[in-house]
């Protein structure tokens, strides 16, 4: 599921379904579907994978029924 601010790259699409092994696959799937979606926009976010927030998810495994939600990067205040 995409952040509202990301939907300018998806034509307003809220979510997609894809079969991937890890978050790298998510990035590839999103960019395959939406070539204008900058990789930096995907990698600049945190994600909630099946309910667990991950800040740097690049190698994070994604299960067959996993839910991946983009959220703002949890940083340092």
Asked if 29 and 20 touch (Cβ cutoff 8 Å), the reply is: yes
With CB under 8 A as the contact rule, the residue among 39, 56, 61, 66 that binds another protein is 56
Kindly state the smallest distance separating residue 34's Cβ from another protein, in Å. 14
Residue 57 CA: distances (Å) to CA of 7, 22, 44, 46? 20, 9, 10, 7
Task: Please give the size of the binding site for another protein, defined by CB under 8 A.
Answer: 29
If one asks whether residue 69 binds another protein (CB under 8 A), the answer comes out as yes
Kindly state the smallest distance separating residue 19's Cβ from another protein, in Å. 20
């Amino acid at each position: 599921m995409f952040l509202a601010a990301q939907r300018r790259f998806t034509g307003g699409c809220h979510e997609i379904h894809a079969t991937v092994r890890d978050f790298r696959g998510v990035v590839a799937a999103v960019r395959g579907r939406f070539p204008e979606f900058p990789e930096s926009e995907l990698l600049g976010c945190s994600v909630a994978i099946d309910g667990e927030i991950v800040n740097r998810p690049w190698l994070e495994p994604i299960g067959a029924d996993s839910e991946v939600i983009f959220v703002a990067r949890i940083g340092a205040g």
